[in-house]
Amino acid sequence: MKTRTLIAGTVALLMATALAAPAADQMTAYSSSRGSKIRIEGTANIIHPTWQVESPFIAGMLEVGPGFPTEPGQALTPGKVEARATNVFVQVRSLKSVESNGKLYSDKMDEIMYEHLKVDKYPAIRYRLTELTLKEAPKSKDAPYVLDSKGELAVAGITNTISMPVNVLPLDNKKLKITGSVTLKMSDYKVGPVEPKLLGIGIIKTGDEVKIPFEWMLMQRPLPGAAATK
């Protein structure tokens, strides 16, 4: 009886330890910092064969385990990496249509886009990271680490799983740059086709496929509960 209680107790303790979050000192936390950029690049049949919208904000936090590159030139083994990013978002109203040189394009196109993204009900495009795997270590100190990511992207109320390679580049001063690009079909999120009638010139139809390159800048932060130094 005593032994069984002891064993049960030990098992329970071990399970609790295994299921509990890793100790704070094993995880590194990052929060978004300025300098991020995300673009949605698409096509259309007339007027502007290519279009693009941009936002300078990618918000959210990232928590990573010991297998994740946090310093330049870190020696790491390829494989699964502990990582959590549960509240990454881009405010829909921060997306603005731009010319290819970055100049603002059209308020009206912005409003049409916000309407199609159902901004009043879903003010943000959200992402949740579910899996991260280090594919290879970089060849040089300045080159990024290449990782495979899998996550859930929610746009206009529809959530889909997306997989994409990402480049992670640890920078000086505890900064991090994560870049990547994913190609999606707007119809997978029940968005569009967008057919704006502009100034009576005729019907423009946008293509279904869009490419989303992004650059997410982050900075290390103390984890909640850890010794807080701002």
Question: What track of x and - describes contact with another protein for positions 128 through 147 (by CB under 8 A)?
Answer: --------------------
> Contact with another protein (CB under 8 A): which of 2, 34, 121, 139?
34
Nearer to another protein, 102 or 225 (CB): 102
Query: What secondary structure letter does DSSP report for 44?
Result: B
- Applying the rule CB under 8 A, the residues between 48 and 77 that interact with another protein are 55-59
Does residue 2 belong to the site contacting another protein (CB under 8 A)? no
Does residue 121 belong to the site contacting another protein (CB under 8 A)? no
Binding residues with another protein: total (CB under 8 A): 30
Question: What track of x and - describes contact with another protein for positions 85 through 104 (by CB under 8 A)?
Answer: ------x-xx-x--x---xx
178 vs 100: CA distance, rounded Å: 23
Residue 12: how many other CB atoms lie within 10 Å: 10
Rg value, the chain, Cα: 22
Does residue 148 belong to the site contacting another protein (CB under 8 A)? no
198 vs 27: CA distance, rounded Å: 51
> Contact with another protein (CB under 8 A): which of 108, 135, 150, 185?
108
DSSP reduced 3-state for 139: coil
Query: Are residues 166 and 172 in contact, defined by beta-carbon separation less than 8 angstroms?
Result: no
Q: What are phi and psi of 210, to 5 degrees?
A: -130, 150
158 vs 150: CA distance, rounded Å: 17
Residues that bind another protein (CB under 8 A): 31-34, 55-59, 91, 93-94, 96, 99, 103-108, 110-112, 114-115, 198-201, 230
